[in-house]
Amino acid sequence: MRLEDKVAIITGAGSGMGRVAAQMFAAEGAKVVVAEFDERGGTETERLVADAGGEASYIKTDVSREGDARAMVDHAVKRFGRVDVLYNNAGIMPEADHSVTDTDVAVWDQVMAVNLRGVFLGCKYAIPRMVEQGSGSVINISSFVAILGCSVPQDAYTASKGAVLSLTRSLAVQFGPNGVRSNAICPGPIETPLLMDWLLKDEAAKQLRLARNPTGRFGKPEEIVNAAVYLASDESRWTNGAQFVIDGGITVNYF
């Protein structure tokens, strides 16, 4: 198994790509900490992993709160003895996030608190453990919107995901010498509740996005998590500071 005995913290693992990640990581032999704000979703993921014969432990976590981030890392160490992987996946994309000209400060701050401060806090508490161990893998979920402009803006979301990419590079350089690798994944539009709840209400918005994709479809969670399994495993031992754009080709599409 590719992740035998590795301990992985996966944030936002109560839904979408995070849940699929918990399932796929456990199937590859990892012990998974399900760090999730939504108790129902988090405990359901824990149960799904256990039903499939894997090991997972849920801890209620709001990644934007420092005490919760500390407790999440402590939980991993107490329960499983170490932290090999920090998979910063939790993220939000509120409908009220538009252009800078019409986005409320409260919405901007909320997006930054979860999508960016959450990554900062996870790293703040997990990386020192990894440095102590002499090894670790940080996987940060950014987005294809971090590297493209969009005429249908979600400016707080876009800015938060751009910052996650920059932070990933800084982490890679700082902690690479300690055996801690940091990489980012930039998914294109993926069929998860985050995107579908919003697009299902607006057929025109959905068709607009599909028309831009050379594959003519949205991605599936496992098509992103496959890359995360690689980054969590020792197969990627020399992969550091990379950004994997997995989007069906949207970002290389001129027309």
Residues that bind ligand NAD (CB under 6 A): 11-12, 14-18, 36-38, 41, 61-64, 89-93, 114, 118, 141, 143, 187, 189-190, 192-195
CB 240 to ligand NAD: min, Å = 21
Distance CA 216, CA 204 (A): 15
CB 223 to ligand NAD: min, Å = 11
Q: Ramachandran region of residue 130, left (φ > 0), alpha (ψ -120 to 50) or beta?
A: alpha
Instruction: Decide whether 57 or 61 has the Cβ nearer to ligand NAD.
Output: 61
Among 132, 225, 127, residue whose Cα is nearest residue 170: 127
Instruction: Decide whether 176 or 193 has the Cβ nearer to ligand NAD.
Output: 193
Instruction: Decide whether 62 or 84 has the Cβ nearer to ligand NAD.
Output: 62
CB 71 to ligand NAD: min, Å = 12
CB 153 to ligand NAD: min, Å = 15
Instruction: Decide whether 9 or 195 has the Cβ nearer to ligand NAD.
Output: 195
Contact between 69 and 125 (Cβ < 8 Å): yes
Among 234, 239, 220, residue whose Cα is nearest residue 1: 234
Instruction: Decide whether 110 or 133 has the Cβ nearer to ligand NAD.
Output: 110
CB 3 to ligand NAD: min, Å = 19
Please identify every residue annotated as catalytic: 157
